[in-house]
Each structure stands twice: as C-alpha cells, then as structure tokens.
Structure 1
Amino acid sequence: MNETLELLLAIGLPTLAAVGVGAAFVARRRGGPTPPTPGRPGDGGRAATAVLDPAAPALAAPTAAAAVEVAPEAEAPAAAPALEVPEPVVGRLARLRGRLAGSGSPLGARLLAVLSRDHLTEDDWDELEETLLLADVGAGPSAELIADLRTAVRVAGVREPAAVRALLREKLIALVDPALDRSLATAPVIGADGLRRPAVLLVVGVNGTGKTTTVGKLARVLVAQGSTVVLGAADTFRAAAAEQLATWGARVGVPTVRSDRDGADPAAVAFDAVRTGRDTGADVVLVDTAGRLQNKAGLMDELGKIIRVITREAPLSEVLLVLDATTGQNGLNQARVFAEVAGVTGIVLTKLDGTAKGGIVIAVQRELGVPVKLIGLGEGPDDLAPFDAAAFVDGLLGD
C-alpha cells in the first residue's frame, strides 16, 4: 500500500506542475489574468506590466561602476549663470543724449544753419518749413513753429548763433510739451477686494518695430529700479518670440510665462502671466504681444480679447505702443488705430539715434494726446531710457 502511494505521488506531482504551468501560459496567450509575481504579494503584476509597456522607459539597476561614476556629479550641482546687472536708469539719458548729439542730427543742424543767416528771405523760411515737414513734425506744429520764429526774429532781431540756438530750443521744447506726464505706472494696485495685484503693462505694435526686444529692455529698466517682474510671452505665432523673451528675462533673473506649443491662445498666456505675477507677489507683469498690422480687423479683434481677459484678473496699468521712428506718417496711421482698439497710454519710440525723423515725437503726441514715455537709441541691452523733452531737444541741436 505504501509503495503504491509513493508511486502515485512520484507520477502525479510533476504532472500537476506541468498542467499548472501550461494553464498559466494559455491564460497569458488568451489575455487572461497574469499570476502575481513572486515576492510582490498583492501587486497583481502591475510593476511587470509597467516595465513591459512600450511607452514606459526601460529600467535597469545601476552597476557598482555606474554608481561610482554618477556620485561625483550628484554632489556637484551645475553652477547657475551669473545674472547681469542692468545699468542704472539715471545715467542712461545723458549718455543717450550725447549719442544723439554726436550723430549730428540733420534736423537740428539744418534749422540752426538757416536761422543763423544774416538776412532771412521767404525762400529761407520755406526751407525751414520743409526741413520740419521732412522730419515728420507735421503740418500744424511746423506752421506754428515757423510763425513763432518769424515773430521773434522780426521783433527781437535775433541773429547771433547762441541766441538763435536758445530761441529754437525754447520753441522746440514747447512743441514737445514738457508738461505731459511721462512716468510709467508700475506700482502694484489694491483691488476693491483688498487684494494686492501687480501693475500690468501690455506692449503692442506692428511687425518689425522691436516689441519683444523693447519688452526685454524694459524689464532691465524695471529691475534696475528695484521692481520684481514677470514676463508674459503672448506672441504665440512667431516661433522664436517666446525663446527670445525668455533669454532676455533669464539674463536678469526674471521668469517668463509661455505656452509649450506654437499657436496657443495668446489671451490665455497673458492671463496666466498676470495670475503668476499675482500669486508670486511680483510688482510688474510685462506682456508681449504678436505684431499685427493696423488694417487687419481679425488681429485687432484678438488684441481686444487679450485686454478683456487680462482685466478679469487685474486692471491694465499701461498700454505701450512701440513705434519705429523712421516710419513717419505710416507710424501715425498705426498709432491712431491702436489707440482706438487698445486705449494706448504711452508711446515707445525706437531707432531714434541719428535719425532725421525726430519730429515724430511732436507729431504723435499732437495726434493722440498721448506722451512719448520711452525712447530707444541703440542696439545695446540698456539703450532704452525714459523720455525727457529738454534732453531730447538738446540732443537734436547738439552741444
């Protein structure tokens, strides 16, 4: 009896084991449940499935040699790049004024040359008016200036070069209007709910005026003044715009809110930037927008949407229109449309260095009733400065 039982056990156990293995194999081929992995009770084989998933990264245990090689890198974190220190804003205007004067501005030089002649004929006065018109001063302001100069020369008999320069300086400063408020509204605001919100500055303009570069330079101005800043890359149509803006910000330690894909909704990016500024306690949020032609209704409507979405989170402190000083009358056309759509509060004039078009300052202010608040006079990162009427005219006339 015992011999018979031992014989049955010897034959049966291997057979049962084989059947069990076969059943498991069949179940796996048919998509049935996988038996639990030995040593991991209760996990149902999920760890093994994750490793076999083609979308999951392959996992491998590091070798001892690999551990030795990796350890030193883990102990020595990469050094953060040194942040740039923007140039103080106070010293910029004098330097930029000197650059404008040194470039021999044709506007100031031609005006002084004509006014210094012994006897001014009608042809001379016509030449003066033509010079002003070519400098984009505009017909109205040009006529006013000529009339004032005629009266002063006839009544006071001004002829000496120094007196002529002083007279012309006085009249030009009056046209540029030093009484306009050119300060930037960059102070955080307290809403009706008592919550602190950052000042929001929206930067708009057409293609090619240098908006993104201007936003980057303006961030440096604000950092130099001690403000904390967040950048919003709402130009989602130009592939390099967000990267360019992020590079400007990284140089001075300013974060940039951007979309992870091209063509994203710019209003959503702008909203996220404002919310990030609020949540992090930033002082100012600068929002860059895509360049848009003033005669493209769809693009201008989109700009209106950006403004509506932003103001759900925080009020707009400034809408800055970037204009290329060399565009002349076309720049005025742009300014009119943007002022209607976006409620422009200030002008940033770029490419003013050495230009004969300095009169655009007078024309655009007269047209919109909006002050020029910032000017760009060069390609350097700190070649953006607050506009000052007297310093600008002195630059035009030379020292």
Structure 2
Amino acid sequence: MSFFQKLKESVQQKTETVTQKFMTGLSKTSHNFVSAISDLFSRTNRIDEDLYEELEEILIGADVGVKTTIDLVERLREEVKARKIKEPAELKSLLSEVISEILKRNEQEQHLRLNEDGLTVILFVGVNGVGKTTTIGKLAHRFKNEGKKVILAAGDTFRAGAIEQLETWGQRIGVDVIRHQAGSDPAAVIYDGIHAARSRKADILLCDTAGRLQNKVNLMEELKKVHRVVQRESPGAPHDVLLVLDATTGQNALVQARQFGQAVNVSGIVLTKLDGTAKGGMVIAINHELNLPVKLVGLGEKADDLQDFDSDQFLHALFRDMIEAEEGNS
C-alpha cells in the first residue's frame, strides 16, 4: 500500500465534516503548491540537481522556510538513494511521506492540555490583528457545546475595543467575561479571572492578553508578569500558553514565535486564516524549526471553523490532486 493510500484510509476513519473543512481551508495552498510540484515531476525525466534546486524554490515559495526546505530536500535525497528511486513521479508520494515525518514529531503534544482535576487556565499571546480574541470566542463556544463551564478574562486592557469584542463574544455564546477598565493592569484582570472562575466553579478560564509588539521589551516584561501571576494563583497553570499566529504573514510568524518563546513558555501554536493564504507551508516550518506543535488551525470565519490540527487531514487536503491522480492510474 502506497503512502497516499494509507493517508486516504486514515482520513476515511475520521469525521467527514472535518475532512471537508480541511479540504476547503487548504484549497489555495493545495492548488499553488501541488500544481507546481506535479508540473516539476511530470516534465522532468530524471532525478538530478536541477530537479532538487527547482523543488527548493517551490517549497520556499510556499513559505516552508529556507532551513526547513534545505533539511527536507536533504532527507528526500537520502531516501531516494536508500530506496534506489529513479523516476521523478515516485517523488510525489515520497515528498508527502517526508513532510509527514516532520508534522508527526510533535503529535503527542498536539492536543490542548486540560486539567482533569480542576480549573484549566489557557493563556493566549500574540501581536495585534492575528485573531486572538476571535480564537478565544470560538474555543469558548466549542467548550460550552461540550458541556463545560467557561469564563473569559479580558486581559487586553490596552485597547477598549478588545474588551468590548470579548464581551460581545461572551454575550453571543452565553459565558461570563471578567473585565476591568481600559488601561488597567492586565495581571490584575487575570488574577480576578482565576478567583472568579474558582468561586463560580468554572471548568475553563481563557485569558486574552494585549497584542504585544514582539520588539517592545517593556510589553514583553508585562507579559512575563501575567504569566507569573497565573503560576502563583493557580499552581500548575497555565496549562497551555497558545501563541496565535496569522498564516498570511509568512516567515514573519516564525520571528514572532521566537520572540514570544523568550518571554513565556509557549506550549503550542494557533494558526489563524489558513484558508486565506496560498502559503500553508508555514505549518511545516513551525513544526520543524520551532519544535512546537500546531494545536489549532483557523479554516474559515464560522465558530466551528476553528479545528484541532490533524497532520493526516492536513496532508490529505494538501496533496488531494496527487492522491486522486494515483487512484485514477491504479
């Protein structure tokens, strides 16, 4: 059984609705990325340096990143030699297999960390405009539908609009929002959020923070303070520190991730607006270069378009045309 066949079999065992969301959300990336690769492998009759160089250009153009691309192509070279592959067409499945290896390195950490013995505290960080507040609202909606009691803490006190946006989400889905006035100490809001969540016997506290500019030292220091308050008031928390990144920003997202990682112990990535870019290769770069799991991906604007990241679903949606072509030839 080929790798593509195994991939399709794996996806068939999962929810059809989720599969369709990944297919739709990754349609732009799949069209650009796979069409270029298919064209390369079909018009080349041998595996040589020219092929590898052109493949590198395609991968970098899809925001896979320079370092990840070099490592990925080197791994491809090793497998070609080890398996004595001669035909470029055979590289289609092999490339998908090598990418799969990268995506599955952090597979055990891809799920959200929920505290089974009490309150779960999740801290959201990231720059302005990446979709933090919307992500929090969508995740709160999901948890509530699962029967959990959720409270939101409006820790982005720098923008009155951010507080109002979170309150709008709270009203829409029917969850309490802990807030202070604009300009208040964010750590104080999170402090009150933890104590309110405990007194109201909530299961989950989702904490918003200001859209820190990653190059502003003082704001990063304040973020560290918020992190310390959470650790002090709720031992073992935060259970997850999720860095929200905008998939359309490309390699700049990696720069943001490194900066935030120095300020707080980021445990996972939320990649928003994946449906709005043709360069979804960022998912591969994040896993490889940051050694951080992508935990959630935004595949649309609806509340249920925030999905748990699934490497098989991602690869199946990415290489859909190649999978269908292989089926047609078999």
| Fold conserved between structures, TM > 0.5 | yes
Cα deviations by residue, 1:336-374 (Å, 9 ceiling, x for unpaired): 111111100000001111523222112222232211100
Matched, 1:174 2:71: no
Matched, 1:156 2:85: yes
Instruction: Show the counterpart of 1:106.
Output: 32
Matched, 1:352 2:274: yes
Matched, 1:96 2:21: yes
Q: Give the direction of change, closer, same or farther, for the CA distance of 1:90–1:240 in structure 2 (3 Å limit).
A: farther
Q: Give the direction of change, closer, same or farther, for the CA distance of 1:114–1:170 in structure 2 (3 Å limit).
A: same
1:318 to 240, 258, 261: 240
1:343 to 234, 240, 265: 265
Q: What secondary structure, in the 3-state scheme, does the structure 2 residue paired with 1:370 have?
A: coil
Instruction: Show the counterpart of 1:228.
Output: 149
- In 2, Cα distance between equivalents of 1:134 and 1:328: 10
Instruction: Show the counterpart of 2:57.
Output: 130
The letter for the 2-side match of 1:96 is K
Instruction: Show the counterpart of 2:228.
Output: 308
- In 2, Cα distance between equivalents of 1:200 and 1:271: 11
Q: What secondary structure, in the 3-state scheme, does the structure 2 residue paired with 1:349 have?
A: strand
Q: What secondary structure, in the 3-state scheme, does the structure 2 residue paired with 1:382 have?
A: helix
Q: Give the direction of change, closer, same or farther, for the CA distance of 1:298–1:354 in structure 2 (3 Å limit).
A: closer
Is the contact made by 2:246 and 2:273 (CA closer than 8 Å) also made in structure 1? Answer: yes
1:216 to 111, 119, 137: 137
Q: Give the direction of change, closer, same or farther, for the CA distance of 1:268–1:224 in structure 2 (3 Å limit).
A: same
Mapping 1:1-399, distance limit 5 Å: 93-103=18-28, 104-120=30-46, 121-150=48-77, 152=79, 155-160=84-89, 163-177=90-104, 179-180=106-107, 181-189=109-117, 197-259=118-180, 261-314=181-234, 315-353=237-275, 355-399=277-321
Q: What secondary structure, in the 3-state scheme, does the structure 1 residue paired with 2:182 have?
A: coil
The letter for the 1-side match of 2:146 is Q
- In 2, Cα distance between equivalents of 1:159 and 1:300: 48
Once the two structures are overlaid, the 10-residue window that deviates more, 169-178 or 238-247, is 169-178
- In 2, Cα distance between equivalents of 1:112 and 1:169: 12
- In 2, Cα distance between equivalents of 1:237 and 1:248: 18
Q: Give the direction of change, closer, same or farther, for the CA distance of 1:112–1:168 in structure 2 (3 Å limit).
A: farther
Cα deviations by residue, 1:256-287 (Å, 9 ceiling, x for unpaired): 1111x211111111111111111111111000
The CA deviation at 1:375 is 0.5
Residue segments in structure 1 that go unaligned for 5+ positions in a row:
1-88, 190-196
Q: What secondary structure, in the 3-state scheme, does the structure 2 residue paired with 1:202 have?
A: strand
The letter for the 2-side match of 1:219 is A
Is the contact made by 2:37 and 2:58 (CA closer than 8 Å) also made in structure 1? Answer: yes
Q: What secondary structure, in the 3-state scheme, does the structure 2 residue paired with 1:319 have?
A: strand
Normalising by structure 2, report the TM-score.
Answer: 0.84
The CA deviation at 1:379 is 1.6
The letter for the 1-side match of 2:285 is A
Cα deviations by residue, 1:52-90 (Å, 9 ceiling, x for unpaired): xxxxxxxxxxxxxxxxxxxxxxxxxxxxxxxxxxxxx96
Larger relative contact order (Cα-Cα within 8 Å, sequence gap ≥ 6): 2
Is the contact made by 1:209 and 1:350 (CA closer than 8 Å) also made in structure 2? Answer: yes
Q: Give the direction of change, closer, same or farther, for the CA distance of 1:341–1:269 in structure 2 (3 Å limit).
A: same
Q: What secondary structure, in the 3-state scheme, does the structure 2 residue paired with 1:217 have?
A: helix
Q: Give the direction of change, closer, same or farther, for the CA distance of 1:337–1:102 in structure 2 (3 Å limit).
A: closer
The CA deviation at 1:210 is 0.9
The CA deviation at 1:234 is 0.7
Instruction: Show the counterpart of 2:10.
Output: none
Is the contact made by 1:105 and 1:355 (CA closer than 8 Å) also made in structure 2? Answer: no
The letter for the 2-side match of 1:235 is D
- In 1, Cα distance between equivalents of 2:223 and 2:97: 40
The letter for the 2-side match of 1:248 is W
Number of paired residues? Answer: 301
- In 2, Cα distance between equivalents of 1:204 and 1:133: 27
Instruction: Show the counterpart of 1:26.
Output: none
Q: What secondary structure, in the 3-state scheme, does the structure 1 residue paired with 2:121 have?
A: strand
- In 2, Cα distance between equivalents of 1:384 and 1:272: 28
Is the contact made by 1:97 and 1:391 (CA closer than 8 Å) also made in structure 2? Answer: yes
Instruction: Show the counterpart of 1:81.
Output: none
Report which of the two has the higher share of helix. 2
Is the contact made by 1:237 and 1:263 (CA closer than 8 Å) also made in structure 2? Answer: yes
The letter for the 2-side match of 1:99 is T
